[in-house]
Structure 1
């Protein structure tokens, strides 16, 4: 059974992210929308992330639920500087990209850079390892209290 992610309007805050990933995987993975590019049982590992964010999420539906409330904290205005590195033999794709946006409660600017290491199997993303700059998140949202 395939899970179709509905209510895509819930994810408007992430549209620039979705578009840059779709661009980076054009011709490599199949799917019209970001969620369609993911295998049903995809695994996301957040290697460099922020406190309180899950380290591992399993399944397309679980990823959608993790991303659904994103727009309550941050809205992305654009993603750019895409570099795609694809090893056809192993099916590994490395995407480098950057984002710009704003923090919803304060209007503070948010910028970050990312590296996502994806494994493609049968033209779907089956594994995603994500790296971001946690300092950029803290600068935008506030530093955790010690």
Structure 2
């Protein structure tokens, strides 16, 4: 198994379940791209340890009983890159709704740490669970 594939598996296992151990996986200058997050009012890019830890802390506080499952982690020909497709589920206490999501995550490793993540997810699913508006879409009550 490549270092990137191993780090991606650990990322999925520890991000929420053992966040302190997960923090040891990330480089100080980590970059986390979230191309669809701006439609929810979240940053497009998190740069550096503090920005990433702040966003992850928000997520852990906003979603309870979050878990990844059905992960398919694929190593690439370059041992410093890996990709995963993974499903996830959790409860949004503020709305009482279940958050269900499918993610595609690209990881780059450097010096045994996660140096770059690029995460794709369906912002509509997040907005429905959070009862949040989607930028550019007129607001309406969600039943």
TM-score scaled to structure 1, two decimals? Answer: 0.72
Q: Which segments of 5 or more consecutive residues in structure 1 lack a partner in the other structure?
A: 1-19, 26-31
> Does residue 46 in structure 1 map to residue 15 in structure 2?
no
Aligned to 1:35: 23
Aligned to 2:10: 22
| Cα gap change, 1:88 to 1:37, in 2 (>3 Å) | farther
**Please, what is the CA RMSD of the aligned residues?**
2.3
Deviations 1:28-79, CA, capped at 9 Å, x for gaps: xxxx821111111011111122321100111122211112122443213421
| Cα gap change, 1:121 to 1:88, in 2 (>3 Å) | farther
Query: Following the alignment from structure 1 to structure 2, what is the Cα–Cα distance between the partners of residues 88 and 60?
Result: 28
Using the TM superposition, give the Cα deviation of residue 24 of structure 1 relative to its aligned residue in structure 2, in angstroms: 5.8
Trace 1:27-106 onto structure 2 (pairs within 5 A): 33-49=21-37, 50-89=39-78, 91-106=80-95
| Cα gap change, 1:123 to 1:88, in 2 (>3 Å) | farther
Query: Following the alignment from structure 1 to structure 2, what is the Cα–Cα distance between the partners of residues 81 and 111?
Result: 13
Aligned to 1:123: 112
Q: Which segments of 5 or more consecutive residues in structure 2 lack a partner in the other structure?
A: 1-7, 14-19, 139-143
| Cα gap change, 1:106 to 1:130, in 2 (>3 Å) | same
Q: Stretches of 4+ moved more than 4 A in 1?
A: none
Query: Across the two proteins, how many residue pairs are aligned to each other?
Result: 121
Using the TM superposition, give the Cα deviation of residue 108 of structure 1 relative to its aligned residue in structure 2, in angstroms: 1.1
